[in-house]
């Protein structure tokens, strides 16, 4: 059983399209995250939800909109995709703040052409 | 503000050599947690270790060891007798006790040459 699963694993799309990435965790964790990893491997937090409530919203273009229908799911919708959105997007979950580490999904490689 | 610095962008060593990956952190909190993650070429992010700010004991796990020194705000990672399978990007990370997120260093790409 995969603890944090993301779909799709690869996504190739044209500029201007709208796309979604889905994430589900079966660990019973309260908090979920989206991170973006750029071509230089830098991991930057985008959003976090705790029990369906948005708690972190970093400086991300408003073309990116997270949605959490329940605490086990956190989806990422991206409107009007741009070339610079090409990256690997990681979903993660965490039991609680503080000393608890993340469990990451396997990542979604988004390529905008 | 919290910050993690991994000054070594890329390291190459020959198999069986020992290698140390440096990590320096900044935080104003007295209670915080430090982590190391590994990202092999396959791309997944794998948790390696967590250390809290009150526990400065060094840790050893097989060929891996970690040296936590609060006096120098460092949490260095050593691989002994490196193997080709250790080739990966390694991330050091920090979480403050009251913070909802973990921040990552920029990573060190480690190449183990056969």
Question: Measured between CB atoms, does A89 come within 8 Å of chain B?
Answer: no
DSSP code for B57: -
CA-angle at B64, arms to B60 and A103, nearest 5° = 95
Residues of A in contact with B100 (CB under 8 A): 31, 48, 50, 55-56, 97
What is d(CA B36, CA B88) in angstroms, rounded to the nearest whole number? 12
Asked if B45 and A55 come within 8 Å (Cβ–Cβ), the reply is: no
Residue B1 has pLDDT above 80, yes or no: no
Q: What is the pLDDT of residues B30-43, one digit of tens each?
A: 999 999 999 999 99
Q: What is the pLDDT of residues A18-74, one digit of tens each?
A: 999 999 999 999 899 999 999 999 999 999 998 888 988 887 899 999 999 999 999
Asked if A98 and B98 come within 8 Å (Cβ–Cβ), the reply is: yes
Q: What is the pLDDT of residues A72-101, one digit of tens each?
A: 999 999 999 999 999 999 999 998 777 778
Q: Are strands A108-112 and A10-13 parallel, antiparallel or unpaired?
A: parallel
Instruction: Using the structure block, give the residue that is written with the tokens 């390529």.
Output: A111
Region B58-71 average pLDDT: 93
């Amino acid at each position: 059983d995969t603890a944090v699963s993301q779909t799709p694993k690869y996504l190739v799309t044209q500029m201007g399209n709208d796309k979604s990435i889905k994430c589900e965790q079966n660990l019973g964790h309260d908090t979920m995250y989206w991170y973006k990893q750029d071509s230089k491997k830098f991991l930057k937090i985008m959003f976090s939800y705790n029990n369906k409530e948005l708690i972190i919203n970093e400086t991300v273009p408003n073309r990116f909109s997270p949605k959490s229908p329940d605490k086990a799911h956190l989806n990422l919708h991206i409107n009007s995709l741009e070339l610079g959105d090409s990256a690997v997007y990681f979903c993660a979950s965490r039991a609680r703040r503080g000393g608890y580490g993340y469990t990451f999904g396997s990542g979604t490689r988004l390529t905008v052409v | 503000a919290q910050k993690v610095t991994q000054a070594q962008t890329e390291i190459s060593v020959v198999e069986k050599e020992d290698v140390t990956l440096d990590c320096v952190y900044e935080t104003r909190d007295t209670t915080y947690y430090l982590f190391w993650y590994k990202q092999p070429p396959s791309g997944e992010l794998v948790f390696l270790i967590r250390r809290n700010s009150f526990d400065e004991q060094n840790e050893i796990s097989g060929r891996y060891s970690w040296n936590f020194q609060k006096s120098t705000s460092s949490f260095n990672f050593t691989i002994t007798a490196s193997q080709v399978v250790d080739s990966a990007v390694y991330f050091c990370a920090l979480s403050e006790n009251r913070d909802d997120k973990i921040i990552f260093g920029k990573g060190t790409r480690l190449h183990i040459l056969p």
